[in-house]
Structure 1
Amino acid sequence: MTPPDRSSVLLLRLAGPLQSWGDRSTFNRRETRPEPTKSGVVGLLAAAAGRSRYAPLDDLAGLSLGIRVDQPGSILRDYHTVSDYRGQPLLSAAMTAKGQQKPTSPAKHTHITQRFYLQDAIFLAGVEGPADLITTLEHAVRHPAFPLALGRRSCTPAQPLALGQRTGPLEEALRTEPWQAAQAVRRRWGRENGGAEHIDLSATFDDPAGDDIRDDVPVSFAPGCRSFTTRRTRHTYLQAPTGLTPDPGRPRNPGGHDPFALLGW
């Protein structure tokens, strides 16, 4: 039987054509942070495990999270306009005493919204917690109950997503895992740096003594009463192996068919 105090680390490779990790979005402007949020990673794990939006999140939110930026990507802005096909003025967010939406005043026929995404970004995420829970989550990610997404529902992850479990501290697991950037990016970097064996990568960790505060720890995902609390984080740099020399012991896609393989993911 697994000792109850034993911990383990699950590594996730968060990669795909588009990602979006919002934490302070409004109805007409949905922004993204430059790296995954804890609410986004917890939401992915909860979806994989088949949990409803009303299910408790204490065990998942209590996991220690570390994010390594392997390929920062760039910001993409998606511009939208919304109008009523009948030519009628749009409704406002204000409500009447009867619970009906009030018309915009002055009348507004077009509403502009903007969505922001990270394109061509790749992150290595590590979640650390009790070994039994981590084993359950790894199986769930490999056999998800619900579709998984990189922040926003339309952002599909590329393979491989789950890289398996690691023993030892979370920071050590992220430091020793080979660089996960796209093949073309690694080859170009290798030519420019003489095939160096290590690269310095930005990383952020949960840390009660950290000097940064983020309001992205989910308390509830229930519709109508979504709520979050804060966490402290620490920013650092890790010297990770580049993995420019193929390692037969680490197959790139042990999970089977990868629909994004031709894109160099």
Structure 2
Amino acid sequence: MDYLVFQLYGTLASWGVPATGEIRRSATHPGRSALLGLLAAALGIPRSDESGLAALAAAVRFGVKQESPGVLIQDYHTAQVPSHNRKARHRTRKDELAAPRDRLNTILSTRDYRCDGYWKVAIPETGDPDWDLETLKAALERPRFPLALGRKACPPAAPLAPRIVQAPGFRSALDTPFPALTPWDGPYERRLLGIAPEAAYIWEGEGGDIQPQEIRHPYDDPLHRGRWQFAPRVEYWHQSREET
């Protein structure tokens, strides 16, 4: 089977998980919502195009190899918001800040980021002529919109280097080698990037040449981008030691 494989490395990344209140966590790897968003940006599909996003989501599934989850860092945020007023309607951020100073309050939040994380992503052949692997590869090579690793403030720090390979399953596809990210290839680069001896493989659907050790049910399958609604899905995990 053909797979489209590409890499994601970033100085900062933030892979959102369900969050309420002041603490906004990050997963250790990109989930389905983040990867669909990255593909949609590359293809030039805006968030307002619900039918286009739904068609893309129906066509693709993902596998991820977590080479390094990166180092967790936290950023402390403050923001001003007006007091609740049923008679006032704020349609924009400018409207909110136009409230009298004595009615402005400060809210606090802490946001997680992954520093120097490195992941590989694989997409099996789709069977949909509108979203064939060559089309997706070309979009990742020349994206229409800026790409981000979860948040707009987290651009990729290395080329995605997409390529199409033949493989019996997700594991072989995700083990595809990529050019070194540093001048020091091999074990020294692995130490610099914090790549652990054990790699985690995460995928959707049939794995092919890999069997799950664990099944999880994340809430990151987009239902409606405008209303920010998500559904649960099935995600398979396998962790094993790599030969270096």
TM normalised by structure 2 equals: 0.76
- How many angstroms does 1:181 deviate by? 7.9
The whole-number CA distance in structure 1 between the counterparts of 2:8 and 2:21 is 26
Matched, 1:21 2:11: no
- How many angstroms does 1:38 deviate by? 0.7
Identity %: 28
Q: Is the 8 A contact 1:123 1:180 kept in 2?
A: no
Matched, 1:67 2:69: no
Using a 3 Å threshold, how does the CA distance of structure 1 residues 179 and 148 change in structure 2: closer, same or farther?
closer
The whole-number CA distance in structure 1 between the counterparts of 2:179 and 2:29 is 15
Cα RMSD of the aligned pairs, angstroms, is: 3.1
Q: Is the 8 A contact 2:158 2:181 kept in 1?
A: no
Matches for 1:40-79 after TM superposition, within 5 Å: 40-55=34-49, 56=51, 57-62=53-58, 63-79=60-76
Matches for 1:62-141 after TM superposition, within 5 Å: 62=58, 63-83=60-80, 90-92=81-83, 94-99=84-89, 109-130=105-126, 132=129, 133-141=132-140
For 1:248, the equivalent position in structure 2 comes to none
Q: Which of the two has greater helix per residue?
A: 2
Quick one: which amino acid aligns to residue 99 of structure 1?
R
Matched, 1:202 2:193: no
Higher radius of gyration, 1 or 2: 1
For 1:247, the equivalent position in structure 2 comes to none
The whole-number CA distance in structure 2 between the counterparts of 1:61 and 1:27 is 29
For 2:173, the equivalent position in structure 1 comes to 173
Matched, 1:33 2:37: no
For 2:215, the equivalent position in structure 1 comes to 211
Task: State the secondary structure of the residue aligned to 1:120.
Answer: strand
Quick one: which amino acid aligns to residue 144 of structure 1?
P
- How many angstroms does 1:69 deviate by? 0.9
The whole-number CA distance in structure 2 between the counterparts of 1:216 and 1:80 is 24
The whole-number CA distance in structure 1 between the counterparts of 2:224 and 2:180 is 33
**Where does the alignment leave 5 or more consecutive residues of structure 2 unmatched?**
91-95, 192-196, 207-211
Q: Is the 8 A contact 1:179 1:241 kept in 2?
A: no
Q: Is the 8 A contact 1:64 1:129 kept in 2?
A: no
For residue 224 of structure 2, the aligned residue among 220, 225, 235 is 220
CA deviation digits over 1:230-253, x for unaligned, max 9? 2101110256564xxxxxxxxxxx
**Where does the alignment leave 5 or more consecutive residues of structure 1 unmatched?**
1-6, 84-89, 192-198, 243-265
The whole-number CA distance in structure 2 between the counterparts of 1:75 and 1:203 is 20
Task: State the secondary structure of the residue aligned to 2:39.
Answer: helix
The whole-number CA distance in structure 2 between the counterparts of 1:15 and 1:239 is 21
The whole-number CA distance in structure 2 between the counterparts of 1:207 and 1:231 is 10
Using a 3 Å threshold, how does the CA distance of structure 1 residues 124 and 182 change in structure 2: closer, same or farther?
same
For 1:232, the equivalent position in structure 2 comes to 234
